[in-house]
Amino acid sequence: MSEGTETLNIKIVLVRPEIEENIGFVARVMKNFGFRDLLIVSPKTIIGSGARRTAMHAIDILMNAKIIDNLHNALNDVEMVIGTSARVGWNYNVLRTAITLSQLCNIIRNVKGNMAILFGSESRGLTNEDLEMCDFVVTIETSPEYPSLNLSHAVAIVLYELYKALNSCTSTHRYRPANLKEKEILSNFFDQLLEEINFPKGKRRIASRIFKNVIGRAFISGREVHTLIGVFRRAVVTLKSLKSLRNSHKDDT
């Protein structure tokens, strides 16, 4: 395995795959590019002779794949979660606001930590519920005439580009990314801030999702997130104190 893929520990997660042969093809392309950690969430097919046949010399990856009953459990030990989607929303659907594969490759050159890349089922892709668990979404640029790729082809393109990006990286000063818990704490303080400034209730969910998108795409470091937590915490405490002071003045009058 290459140094780049070893250092980053990228998990490939197939969410509800439906075609047995595609699972084998995914294992094969993973071995082609030095990725070994395959997770299969709630498969809709058996994983038998068809998958073994298409895996070819990547039987070891297929046999070591972890079958997991739900996506949440598959992501409990990763710091960053990346969804993939052919159906992007750009400015109109914040869950499907996507970066390109080239942008992803440029970003991860300076990152060290566990990542998971999610690929949805052949018929539906990733659902909105799946994307809620992602830090951000990446899309493969294709012809608009037929943008939907076969599952194994999509995995092959993503891993090929990641392999090139990771192995062309010469920097040894990679930073520790913020983990899921740290980003969750930061998001909670942002939500509290929205409440304290009386941000319209009907728009809070969208604002919260956009904030998570920005944090995910930024590949924020652990130190950076702790600094922002401190800023937001102080802002929330200050606003609460001002509100309490105003209420006490009202009571006095």
Model confidence over 101-156: pLDDT tens digits? Answer: 888 877 776 666 788 999 999 999 999 899 988 888 888 888 888 888 899 999 99
Right CATH for 3-167 from 3.40.1280.10, 1.10.3720.10, 3.30.9.10, 1.10.10.60: 3.40.1280.10
Helix (H) or strand (E) holding 39: strand 37-41
Those residues with Cβ within 8 angstroms of residue 32's Cβ, 6 or more apart along the chain or in another chain: 156, 159
Q: Which of 57, 63, 4, 50 is nearest to 29 (CA)?
A: 57
Which residues make up the CATH 3.40.1280.10 domain(s) of the chain? 3-167
Please give the Cα distance from 123 to 18 (Å, whole number): 8
pLDDT of residue 243: 83
Which stretches in the chain have pLDDT values below 50? 1-7, 90-91, 94, 170-173
pTM over 0.85: no
Please give the Cα distance from 189 to 141 (Å, whole number): 35
Q: How far is CA 253 from CA 241, 242, 244, in A?
A: 19, 17, 15
What letter would DSSP give residue 150? P
Q: Which of 32, 10, 154 is nearest to 85 (CA)?
A: 154
* DSSP-derived pairing of the beta strands 66-68 and 37-41: parallel
pLDDT of residue 142: 85
Q: Which of 33, 5, 1 is nearest to 155 (CA)?
A: 33
pLDDT of residue 6: 47
